[in-house]
Amino acid sequence: MAKMERFKCRAPHLAFFVLLLASLARCSSSTKKNVTIPVLAPLYNLDVDRFAYGLAAKYAMDLINNRTDILKDYHLVPRIYDTVASVTKTFYIIHDILKRRECLNESLPPAIIGPSYSTTTIAAANAVNLFYILQYTYGATSPVLDIYNSFQHLVRMYPGTSPFSNAHAALLKKFGWTRVGIVYDHHEHDGIFNKITDNLIDKLRGNNITVVGIESVDGGNNRLSNGNEEIKGRLERLKAADIKIFFAQFTFVRAYRVFCQAYKLGMFGQNYVWIVHPQVETVDKWLTAPGGRFGVASGCSEEDYRLISERMLLFKHQNFRKDGKRSISGLSIEKYRAYMDKHRAKTSRSFLTRHVHSYMFDTVWDMALTLNKSLPILKAMNSSLDKMPFRNKDLADELVKVAFATKFEGITGTVEVEKEQGRIGTLNLYQIRNKTNILVGSYHGTTGTLVLDVKNPDLWIDGRVPNDRSRHRTVLLNIPLAIYLPICTVAGLGVILAIGVLIFNTYHRNEGYIRKSAPLFNNIIILGVMMCLSTVVFFGYPVELGETNKFLLMCKLRTWILCLGFSLSFGSMFVKTWRVYKIFTNRKLKYSIDRLSNSSLIGMVIVIVVVDIFILLLWKFINPMERKMTGADVTGVRKDDAGRLLSDFLTKFMYDLGIDDGLVAVGYSNDDVSDLVRGTVPQHRVTKLAPAGAPGEEELAKLFEASMKIY
């Protein structure tokens, strides 16, 4: 009971103590100085906040205001302005910010966040520069902003053109590509792609990558002013330059026209690679462009677009880090996304999948860290964040130096800003597969490395990295050993048999029936046959591609031995036949039998052989044998076009050889077609070899009619 009384006596004292602590906390909070931070964003409606930029800025500042280690004496207050992506509205907002100092006696803000788009950012920077205010942008990417001297107090928190160009160079080096072509729109978005392309070319040349061809398409405002034939002609020039790797620097508004012509030219598939700008988007987006579905590009179907888009590559900004690390805010990615999804406006659902607000979140944190590190500098100048000096260039220069030296872990990844390039972040590499973007790798700007995703290894259609040019590989086709060896064996058996006959003929040369058959000429015939059979070895002897002398030697040996063997064999047969003819026609004995002796007739064989040697020597000195390679380039040729290509090449080959121009040249006409068909039908051993099966009479008739003239 006594204890209960003591507790009742102390209760009022405990209540008073709690109220005192709460009062002190309120007093402590009220002692914080408010610092207004203008936030410029394309909200399109303050109540909607389409991209959740305003929500992200408020969330970041709330977290910072609750920290005791960052700006502990200050309370950040966001003032949200809607630029509606308009340069005019942006100028009005900047004027309003500056007017507050004059009319409301407010201090200039220590920093301005925004705008987002390049055009509005450049407009704001040109105005803010006059008053030396630190400015942050969380979305501008224009290469114009790389000119540091023109934007000395601008901190770019969104990876711009240079990081993308570095990523492209890393991608090319990853796969060993050194030759590329570029197709760009030199008019769209006020010529922004001119500057993007120039930046890309500089980066590629710095990495020893050759830009073989560059072609532009004039965009106009809503439609291409170039006709389809002109676009086709420009793509044909790039294709003729043997370019296989292409950069497409334009938006989806141009994609449906350019890629339709590229499809018709066959510039897609396993031998081509298209590296496209992020704003090219996907096939579904192409079809929503002006004229995309029912306009001038109706010559290509949705399936055609799907085929050409297959395995296209593109880099995109990484909106959320993927390494599982917590950001400096203490939030995990899951917790941040849950908060944003819960509190962002739901009236514009088409934008709910856009998560670029993460860059706004990290931008606010970068600004807070920069200002926190700059407090000693302000103190040395007898200034504070709530009372910034007016147009102090030295202070603005110091703030920018601190901003460039600030590095931390953010929601989007490791945050590091470089003076010339802006934010050095991570870019995700995607590949379009069946009209869907698939994550296949990432480029880490801080280390300059490209890492491919092991979960999606099948980058290429046939598993082979495409070449950056046509690879001409010369292959010497030898007769397969499975055919060559049996034929040589049969020829060898023939030679052995001939040797046996030669021995038999020589041994029994004095026998009556042998002597009457002229054994000398029999032996010469056997010798010639042996020479002809031996050439089988030279016709199929395996020769390597680089062994030119050996190849020519095989050609010469088989020609000389075959010709001389033929002359000896058929020369001796001719002499024997001629002697028999003379004997049986010499009825009145007008022809001397002595002229038909072996010694006389052997001279005739020698004359035949000498004439053959003379002809071979003339051939050697007038038109000597040489090694030539002929063939058709089949690189990039579709299977459906293989037949036409082979036909055209064989026709040219026949023309170069001087083969007669069709059946007309050898005496046939269309009146002979029926006779030719009747004569061909029974030749089953030939017709059944046709790849499509034995042709019928009607097919044969068409074949003969088409063969009357070839060239």
> Do the domains 33-159+333-345+354-413 and 161-220+228-323+427-452 sit in the same CATH topology, yes or no?
yes
Please give the helix or strand (H or E) that residue 548 lies within, else none. Answer: helix 548-585
**pLDDT of the residue at 26:** 47
Residues 6+ apart with CB under 8 A from 609: 564, 567, 568, 571
Whole-angstrom Cα distance, residue 104 to residue 111? 18
Question: Domain 33-159+333-345+354-413 class?
Answer: alpha beta
Question: Are 207 and 173 within 8 A, CB to CB?
Answer: yes
**pLDDT of the residue at 422:** 86
DSSP 465: P
Residues of the chain with pLDDT under 50: 1-29, 219-225, 293-297, 348-352
Whole-angstrom Cα distance, residue 56 to residue 359? 9
**pLDDT of the residue at 590:** 63
Rounded to the nearest 5°, which phi and psi values hold at 471? -100, 110
**pLDDT of the residue at 17:** 45
Q: Check: pTM over 0.85? Answer yes or no.
A: no
What pLDDT digit, counting tens, does each position of 133-151 carry? 999 999 888 888 887 778 9
Sign of the dihedral through C-alpha 616, 622, 627, 632: negative
**pLDDT of the residue at 222:** 42
Question: Are 110 and 388 within 8 A, CB to CB?
Answer: yes
Question: Domain 161-220+228-323+427-452 class?
Answer: alpha beta
**pLDDT of the residue at 654:** 84
What pLDDT digit, counting tens, does each position of 24-41 carry? 444 444 588 999 999 999
- Pairing of the two strands 407-410 and 413-418: antiparallel
Closest CA to 368 of 415, 325, 412: 415
Closest CA to 360 of 654, 43, 696, 34: 43
Domain boundaries, the chain: 33-159+333-345+354-413, 161-220+228-323+427-452, 481-622, 639-707
Whole-angstrom Cα distance, residue 165 to residue 201? 8
